[in-house]
Structure 1
Amino acid sequence: MIKILISGLTGFVGQNLSKYLLNNSFEINPISLRNLNWKKNFEADVIIHLAGKAHDTKKSSDTSEYFKVNTDLTKELFDAFLESKARDFIYFSSVKAVADEVIEVLYEDVLANPKTPYGQSKLQAEEYILSKEISQSKRVFIIRPCMIHGPGNKGNLNLFYNLVKKGIPYPLAAFHNERSFLGIDNLNFLIKEIILNKNISSGIYNFADDEVLSTNQLVEIISSVANKKNLSIAIPKSIINSLGRIGDLIKLPLNSETIQKLTENYRVSNQKIKTALGVDKLPNTAQQGLEKTIKSFINK
C-alpha cells in the first residue's frame, strides 16, 4: 500500500483529496508543520504539500506572513523530503505564482511575473525546489492549479450562487470573457494518476479543466441548477467602468479591480499533464464540475 503524507489535510482540497485517495486504497496520514516534532513521523512514499497561506482578497494580511508560510515552510518540508526515503514530492503552487493577468493562454513555460505577495511567495518556493539537485530515485512535481471548486468550497462561486438565489441581477453581461476552472474531481484524478504512473517525469504542470467558460455562462449554469431565472443585465461597458471609478473613490464593493476580476480572461492550458498521462480528456467537463459544486450549495 502506498503511504502518503499530506500537509494541509484539513483544508478544502486536503479533505476532498484525502477522502478520494483513501477510497482508492492509499494510506493517508496528516502532517502538521506547526507541530515542532513533525519530522519524527516522516515516513511515507509520497509527500503532498497543500498547506499554505491563501490569497487575501481584502489585503489585510501582513506581507511577511506569506513568505513565512508559503516559502519558508515549503523549504523546510522539501529539505526533509530530500533526506528521506520518500520517492515523490507534490507541491501545490498556483497559477498566480507566475501570472496575475493572462492575455492569451497560460502555459508552464511562461516568464513568471507575480504582482502579489501571495504569488511572489509561491514563486520563491518553486524556485527553491527547482534549485536543488534531485536523486534519480525521486520525482518532484510543482502543480499550478487555477481556481479550484467543489463541495465544501467557500470561495467566489458561493458568492455568485447567493446572488442568483436572492434574485440579484448580474450587471456585467455586456462583458464576454473566458476563464479556466478546476473541479475537485479532476484534481483528485490527476494526483492519483501522477502517483501511480511512474513514467511521468518531474516538472511543472498546470491543472485546469478542459473547457473555458465565461462569467455569463457561469451565471447561466448557477441559475439552471438552482432553478432560478437568469436575471443578468447588459449595462453598457462605459457606464460600468464609470461606476467602477466612483467605487474606487468612495470605497464601494463594485470598483475597478472587482470589475476587472469578474470580466477578465484567464485561460490555462492543461495539455502538458494530459500528454504526460496519455489522455485526451479529463473525467469531468467544466460544466459537470460546476454543476456538482452548485448542487452542494443547495443541499447544504
Structure 2
Amino acid sequence: MAKIIITGASGFIGSPLLSKLKQTSEFQAVGVCRRSPQSGSDLRLHALGDLQYADLSALLPGVDVLIHAAARAHIMKDEVADPMAEYRRVNVEGTLSLARQAAAAGVKRFVFISSIGVNGNISTRPFRVDDQPNPAEPYAQSKWEAEQGLMKLAAETSMEVVIIRPPLVYGPDAPGNFGSLVRWIEKGVPLPLGAIHNKRSLVGIDNLVDLIVHCIDHPAAANQVFLAGDGEDISTTELLRGVGRAMGKPARLIPVPAGLLQFGATLLGRKAMAQRLLGSLQVDISKTCELLDWKPPYTVEEGLRRCFERSN
C-alpha cells in the first residue's frame, strides 16, 4: 500500500483528492493543511503552518508520494505591499523547501499542482506542453519558477517530479472566477454575456482528481509536465447557460457584442477581468491522454451537474 501525503488537504483541490484516496485500498493518504481544521471534520488533517518554514520530518518516513496542492492563489484584491515577493515566498520557496525535505527522506515522487497560467492567460491556438512559457501574472510566474526548481531537484536526486497545469477548475464551492459566475446566476443578475464566441478549456474537479490519482504511480508520468482539461472547449456564453441548466435556474444573458464589452472594461480599468470572460484559452491535452492512457471521466455537462448535485 503506497503512502501518500497531500498538502492543502482542506482546500478546493486537496479536500476531494484526499476523500478519493481514502475510499481506495491502494493508498494510505495523510492530509496536511496550513491551520488546524475545524472541529467535526471527518478527515484527520495535520497542521502544516507557513509553507516556507513547514517541517514535515515527522510525517515523511515511509512516504512514497507527496502531492503538493497548497499554494497562495485566488487573491482578487491583494493588499500586501509586494505581491510578487509574497507569491515567491509561498509558491516558490515553500514548494522547494518541501520538495527538498521529501527528496532527503527518500520520497519517490513529488506531484506538483501548477497552473495553465505558466503557458499564458490567452491563446490563439490550444496551448501545448512544449510551448514557450509565458506567465503574465505574479501567481503564474511563481508557479513557473517553482516548476524550474523542481525539475532541477529531480535532476540532482532520485526523486521523480510530476507537474500538472490545470486551467480554470470548477466544482462545488469553487473559488475565483467560476464561483463569481455561479453567484451571479444564482441571484438572477442579468449579464451582458449572451454573445461571446470565445473558446475556453476548463477542468471539472472530479476530472482533475482522477488525473492526479493517475499520476501517483504511472511509470510514464515520471519527470513530465501534463496539461489538464475536460477535453471540450466552450464559450463563456455556453458555460453560463450550462451552469444555469445544472442549477435549474435561467441564466439571464443579454447579447452585447464582445468588442463593446472590451471597450467598456478598458475604460473602467477592468481589462484583466474582461480578458478572462471574453478571451480564449484552449488547452491541448493529447499528451496527457496518450502518455497516461487517460480519458476525462466526465463531460462538461456531467461535471456541472455533479457540481450542483453535490452542493445541494
Q: TM-score, structure 2 length as denominator?
A: 0.86
| Contact 2:125–2:282, Cα closer than 8 Å, also in 1 | yes
Count residues with an aligned counterpart: 291
In the alignment, is residue 45 of structure 1 matched against residue 64 of structure 2?
yes
- Residue range with higher mean Cα deviation, 25-34 or 180-189: 25-34
Task: Report the Cα distance in structure 2 between the residues aligned to 1:23 and 1:75, rounded to whole angstroms.
Answer: 30
Matched with 1:30 is 31
Partner of 1:193, secondary structure, is helix
TM-fit CA distance, 1:199: 4.0
Partner of 2:196, secondary structure, is coil
Matched with 1:204 is 225
Matched letter for residue 303 of structure 2: G
Matched with 2:284 is 269
Matched with 2:42 is none
After superposition, residues 124-273 of structure 1 pair within 5 angstroms as 124-134=145-155, 138-248=159-269, 255-273=270-288
Matched letter for residue 272 of structure 1: K
RMSD over equivalenced CA pairs, Å: 2.1
Task: Report the Cα distance in structure 1 between the residues aligned to 2:115 and 2:60, rounded to whole angstroms.
Answer: 25
| Contact 1:33–1:73, Cα closer than 8 Å, also in 2 | no
Partner of 2:66, secondary structure, is strand
Segments of 5+ residues of structure 2 without an aligned counterpart are 33-47
TM-fit CA distance, 1:27: 0.9
TM-fit CA distance, 1:201: 3.3
Task: Report the Cα distance in structure 1 between the residues aligned to 2:289 and 2:56, rounded to whole angstroms.
Answer: 34
| Contact 1:161–1:294, Cα closer than 8 Å, also in 2 | no
Q: TM-score, structure 1 length as denominator?
A: 0.89
Matched letter for residue 5 of structure 1: I
TM-fit CA distance, 1:133: 4.6
TM-fit CA distance, 1:222: 1.7
Task: Report the Cα distance in structure 2 between the residues aligned to 1:149 and 1:257, rounded to whole angstroms.
Answer: 20
Partner of 1:132, secondary structure, is helix
Matched with 2:36 is none
TM-fit CA distance, 1:94: 0.9
Partner of 1:217, secondary structure, is helix
After superposition, residues 91-102 of structure 1 pair within 5 angstroms as 91-102=112-123
Matched with 1:18 is 18
Segments of 5+ residues of structure 1 without an aligned counterpart are 249-254
Task: Report the Cα distance in structure 2 between the residues aligned to 1:152 and 1:230, rounded to whole angstroms.
Answer: 18
Task: Report the Cα distance in structure 1 between the residues aligned to 2:128 and 2:195, rounded to whole angstroms.
Answer: 28
TM-fit CA distance, 1:150: 1.5
Distance 1:117 1:155, change over 3 A: closer
Task: Report the Cα distance in structure 2 between the residues aligned to 1:133 and 1:228, rounded to whole angstroms.
Answer: 49
TM-fit CA distance, 1:33: 5.1
Task: Report the Cα distance in structure 1 between the residues aligned to 2:171 and 2:208, rounded to whole angstroms.
Answer: 10
| 1:184-210 Cα shifts (integer Å, max 9, x gaps) | 111121122222433433211111111
Task: Report the Cα distance in structure 1 between the residues aligned to 2:165 and 2:259, rounded to whole angstroms.
Answer: 35
Matched with 1:278 is 293
In the alignment, is residue 117 of structure 1 matched against residue 138 of structure 2?
yes
